[in-house]
Amino acid sequence: MNDPPAGAIYLDNAATSFPKPDCVYAAADIYMRAMGVAFGRGSHSGTSDAARLVAQCRQRLARILDAESGDRVAFTFNCTDGLNLLLRGVLRTGDRVVTSTLEHNSVLRPLQQLKSELNLDLVHVDFDARTGLVDVPAFTQELHRMQPRLAVLNHASNVTGVVQPIKKISAAAHDSGALLMLDAAQTVGHIPFSVRDLNVDMLASAGHKGLLGPLGTGIVYVREGLEGEVLPIRCGGTGTDSESLVQPSVMPTRFESGNLNMPGLAGLNAAAEWILQQSVDGLHAQISQLATQLSDALREISGVRLFGGAAVQNVGIVSFSMDGIDSQDVAAVLDQSFQIRCRAGLHCAPLVHKTLGTIPAGGTVRLSPGPFTVQADVEKAVEAVTQLAASL
């Protein structure tokens, strides 16, 4: 098993998962040392090995997503890249969009930018600070009032970890004629779900969080038959149809211009195999149990306020603030005095903190266990917060 360096406890898996399974390091290393080729760009046997690896990776990710086939998965360089690709590809001048205050800046900022470029009509529906759940009646009402082209929703908040009721939202979105796009940065690989069962039109996610691949990897899923609606924002060489001056119309090459991050994808492919062996369900149960222990113990400490409510489903994120101390200072003490690595602040989701009322506290302190977190790590984190609370 992998150990974080020099005894540090890594509880920042919501930012990026660490450590990765050993097979991920090995696969990326082997790719760079022994394979090294550019996918789709050589006339030798090495390129067919690379093509096999990429196809295998798509198929494994399609199994994790329960997508129609591996071809529905296109590779990006992170979740933000995928969100930009989809938002810019789908939206047209004057479109109406319904989204929420749960969103990460990776959705908020592209939408704000597109609002000024395309004169979008944009609405952010709020969530319930007590439960962490988006206000479904208000979201539905906006969908019916605006008849938008697109609804965009965070699948699980990176601040609270609360998983949103996507089935209800997708039914309401489709009822109003809208497409539904998910920011699934915190759910793919974290919780078992099916894009077909949820009836999602598009999603973007990171390869380096719950999917346990290297940084610099991400994915988008586009439902079968929808790719024509998503204009390719990045055009160029795909290694296919080279005689054509026009960008391919088919998935996944439509969205994959330029060389792919092959060492990253080799790692992601190994990670996806590892996840399928463990099962997403099993990993979720293991991480949830640690997160529940953590939140139950922190709730007992005087001066600690927890956020996220008693969620029906949580991806394993524990967010809290402490009376009398800024969240950034809490993280600094955890790091410097206890070697506990976490993240504090707004977590790139400013509107969430407006609703939670956590701006004066400097946002929240976020502890996010991963597949290699052990019970002793949780106990040390609780002890550290207990000591800090006692010293205030």
Residues contributing to the site for ligand PLP (CB under 6 A): 15, 78-80, 104, 106, 154, 158, 183, 185-186, 206, 218
Between 149 and 209, CB nearer to ligand PLP:
209
Between 54 and 102, CB nearer to ligand PLP:
102
AA identity, residue 313: Q
Between 15 and 202, CB nearer to ligand PLP:
15
Between 64 and 206, CB nearer to ligand PLP:
206
- Angle at CA of residue 139, ends 203 and 352, nearest 5°: 75
The count of residues in the chain is: 392
Q: Residue 50 class from Cβ within 10 Å (0-12 exposed, 13-18 middle, 19+ buried)?
A: buried
Between 185 and 333, CB nearer to ligand PLP:
185
- Angle at CA of residue 383, ends 377 and 388, nearest 5°: 130
Distance in angstroms (rounded) separating the CA atoms of residues 86 and 204 = 8
H helices within the chain, ranges in order?
Answer: 22-30, 45-65, 79-90, 105-118, 136-146, 166-175, 195-198, 262-278, 280-299, 327-338, 350-356, 375-391
Nearest distance, CB of residue 317 and ligand PLP, angstroms: 9
Nearest distance, CB of residue 314 and ligand PLP, angstroms: 14
Token digits for 232?
């390719």
Instruction: For 264, list phi and psi in degrees, rounded to 5.
Output: -65, -45
Q: By the 8 A CB rule, do 264 and 217 touch?
A: yes
Q: By the 8 A CB rule, do 210 and 155 touch?
A: no
Nearest distance, CB of residue 216 and ligand PLP, angstroms: 9
Token digits for 265?
């994808």
Token digits for 271?
């990670």
Nearest distance, CB of residue 390 and ligand PLP, angstroms: 32
Nearest distance, CB of residue 72 and ligand PLP, angstroms: 19
Q: Which residues partner with 345 through β-bridges?
A: 364
Nearest distance, CB of residue 14 and ligand PLP, angstroms: 6
Q: By the 8 A CB rule, do 132 and 315 touch?
A: no
Distance in angstroms (rounded) separating the CA atoms of residues 171 and 117 = 30
Q: Which residues partner with 20 through β-bridges?
A: none
Residue 247 DSSP symbol: -
Between 106 and 373, CB nearer to ligand PLP:
106
* H/E run at residue 363: none
Nearest distance, CB of residue 270 and ligand PLP, angstroms: 19
Nearest distance, CB of residue 15 and ligand PLP, angstroms: 6
Between 182 and 333, CB nearer to ligand PLP:
182
Nearest distance, CB of residue 295 and ligand PLP, angstroms: 19
Between 206 and 346, CB nearer to ligand PLP:
206
AA identity, residue 164: Q
Q: By the 8 A CB rule, do 101 and 154 touch?
A: no
C-alpha distances (whole Å) from 73 to each of 120, 205, 207, 254, 272 are 28, 11, 12, 11, 13
Between 325 and 365, CB nearer to ligand PLP:
365
